[in-house]
Structure 1
Amino acid sequence: MIKNRREYLFFYDVTDANPNGDPMDENRPRIDEEVGICFVTDTRLKRVIRDELADMGEEIFIREERKEDGKLKTKEELLDLYNNGDYNEIIRRCIDIRLFGGTFAVGDNAKSFTGPVQFKFGRSLHKVSVKLVKGTTVMPSKEGKGQGTMTDFYIIPYGLFCFYGIANEKAAKDTELKDDDLKKMTEAMWKGIKESTDVISRSKFGHMPRLLIEIIYKENTKTHMGELNRLVSIKKPETLDELAIRDIEEIELDFSKLKKVVEEYKDKIEKIYYAVDKRLKFAEGSEVENIFEGIPLEKFPWLAE
């Protein structure tokens, strides 16, 4: 089980795509209308992680599995695959339950595991606009009577998103979360956004991971910085309106606020792992090496694999 608390900052951007459609609102991107900020649910990020972990050969419990008749298996039927609902067996075999927990309410045999890893909603670091794209299909429908049908879908032209997460060593005791599980999770976050078949679709194509930071605290540290997403911002030319941002190279990440807080906590931090995209730009003094100066810093080992 893990013994060190972790914090995560994960940045990715979206170009001409729908980062997380709302099925209750015509699948439009989710917008905080009062401030014009786009957001992505933690569930969406966890789905990307789960799908990529499955591609990596890991066993996932929250998955789509169909029966011979084509219908999806129920949770009860999935539980039967694990010694008739043996929760210890589920934890042993399923990395997503060890990471994110789960609730199993089947008959009288109910159980709930709090996930050691939790993410806040990802939010764009600038205002975004929503565009409706219209088109036609070549193949007619029955109702079309020989003509192609109209299609439409929603996108945002561009958005840079920031997710904040934490891995709690206390909750890890219940799900037996291991250090190796977290290593696989960070790899799945980065590679899943970039290459997952779940992301590479018409609405999701155009996602790119830009920066991932894992902050590992020293053993027995009972505190952490918290709300790291509120300590980051972007810098842009004064002549560039937020709604007109279209590429990662038009803006810079500003970590000046984060740097001040890191200084207060650096004696509690054991190590930093990170991955950074070569097109990402930092404001002066905000480079990763500068923000975590004096703290052991290393790129994620899986980057070289």
Structure 2
Amino acid sequence: MENVIKNRAEILFLYDVSFANPNGDPVDENKPRIDEETGINIVTDVRLKRTIRDYLAYYKGKEVFIIETRKDNGELRTKKDRIEDFGTNEDIIAKCIDVRLFGATTAVKDKMMILTGPVQFKYGKSLHRVNLMYVKGTTVMPSGEGREQGTFTEKYILPYSLIAFYGIVNENAAINQNIPLTDEDVDLMLEGMWNGTKNLMSGSKIGHMPRLLIEVVYQENNYQIGELEKRIKFVHEMEDEEIRDIQDGKLDITELVAVLKQNQEKIKLIKYIYDDRVTFTCNGEECTLEKALKGLNIQKLQY
């Protein structure tokens, strides 16, 4: 498989949420997930993967296995239906970009597929404590026959949350499981992270904006720095819960830049993109990301 990825890579992705629900918990009134001990907002890897899958399917026209599809009569298609759409496991892997990226576990009668995807993400966490807000409203339409007035609506949102995700692209998982994941697949995934986040436009999700995306591609096999999300800080002068905008603080990349330069000989390429409303600081001074990464092999992504 000549086109299979050959290099380990790490991914750091930051986006923020303004007056929206980044990831509701269905067993807790769909409230945003918050660590009760720390007040930190948590977003599951499944939520990020859903963003990527939807973008690749609906905006790029790619075949995606884990996605909602319906029959002609409006009923949801089952996992069995989806497997029959493609035929063999090999066909599913070859045709479906999300299976090549994230793997899949399916078991329907005599067909089983258990793949650990080469791309995995930790849970995303906010870089500050968040404030949960309860919003109540009304609708103009009655809820049923015999009722003359509209009903009440309610939802939980976060006024602001700056969320950091860390991920890894494991070339060994692709090679050892015969998953033909290509560099083009990974590039499309990065585009899905950035543009897919911009395209979260439902009632509960509008208010998402990507702020920083970095992919560190390594020269050496079986090597990564690790925990890149812990090497950045959002510094500000107000209380955490008072933050309402990315410009209420600055992104301190001092530790991140230092560790990247310490590992310069092991790094093949750093791909990056950032939103122009982000202010970076390094060693106590404001800087551009390009200036901070000077001396490293960098490539700006164009989305």
Same fold (TM over 0.5): yes
- Map 1:211-230; keep pairs closer than 5 Å: 211-218=212-219, 220-230=220-230
Distance across 2 between alignment mates of 1:57 and 1:108: 30
Q: CA deviation at 1:66?
A: 1.0
> For residue 50 of structure 1, what is the aligned residue in structure 2?
53
**Most deviating of 285-294 and 136-145:** 285-294
Aligned 8 A contact 1:48 1:189 in 2: yes
Q: 1:280 to 1:296 in 2, by over 3 A?
A: same
1:5 corresponds to 2:8: yes
Q: Which one of 50, 71, 79 corresponds to residue 67 of structure 1?
A: 71
- Map 1:246-257; keep pairs closer than 5 Å: 246-257=244-255
Q: CA deviation at 1:151?
A: 0.6
- Aligned amino acid, residue 275 of structure 2: D
Distance across 2 between alignment mates of 1:144 and 1:260: 67
Does the residue aligned with 1:33 lie in a helix, a strand or coil? coil
- Aligned amino acid, residue 100 of structure 1: F
Which whole-Å deviations, capped at 9, do the CAs of 1:230-285 have from their partners, x for residues lacking one? Answer: 11111112xx1111001110111111222232232111001111111000011244
> For residue 116 of structure 1, what is the aligned residue in structure 2?
118
> For residue 149 of structure 2, what is the aligned residue in structure 1?
147
Q: What stretches of structure 1 of length at least 5 have no aligned partner?
A: none
Q: 1:263 to 1:251 in 2, by over 3 A?
A: same
What number of residue pairs does the alignment pair up? 294
Q: CA deviation at 1:144?
A: 7.2
Q: CA deviation at 1:68?
A: 2.1
> For residue 204 of structure 1, what is the aligned residue in structure 2?
205
Give the TM-score taking structure 1 as reference length: 0.93
Aligned 8 A contact 1:235 1:283 in 2: no
Q: CA deviation at 1:293?
A: 2.8
- Aligned amino acid, residue 189 of structure 2: M
> For residue 243 of structure 1, what is the aligned residue in structure 2?
241
Give the TM-score taking structure 2 as reference length: 0.94
Aligned 8 A contact 2:102 2:120 in 1: yes
> For residue 261 of structure 2, what is the aligned residue in structure 1?
263
Aligned 8 A contact 1:262 1:291 in 2: no
Aligned 8 A contact 2:40 2:127 in 1: yes
Distance across 2 between alignment mates of 1:256 and 1:193: 26
- Aligned amino acid, residue 52 of structure 1: Y
Does the residue aligned with 2:92 lie in a helix, a strand or coil? helix
- Aligned amino acid, residue 44 of structure 1: R
Q: CA deviation at 1:289?
A: 2.4
- Aligned amino acid, residue 130 of structure 1: L
> For residue 164 of structure 2, what is the aligned residue in structure 1?
162
Which whole-Å deviations, capped at 9, do the CAs of 1:199-224 have from their partners, x for residues lacking one? Answer: 20121110000010011111x43211
Which whole-Å deviations, capped at 9, do the CAs of 1:25-75 have from their partners, x for residues lacking one? Answer: 000000001000001000000000000000211000001111122211111
Aligned 8 A contact 2:254 2:282 in 1: no
> For residue 281 of structure 2, what is the aligned residue in structure 1?
283
Distance across 2 between alignment mates of 1:216 and 1:123: 23
1:128 corresponds to 2:126: no
Does the residue aligned with 2:85 lie in a helix, a strand or coil? coil
**Most deviating of 254-263 and 145-154:** 254-263
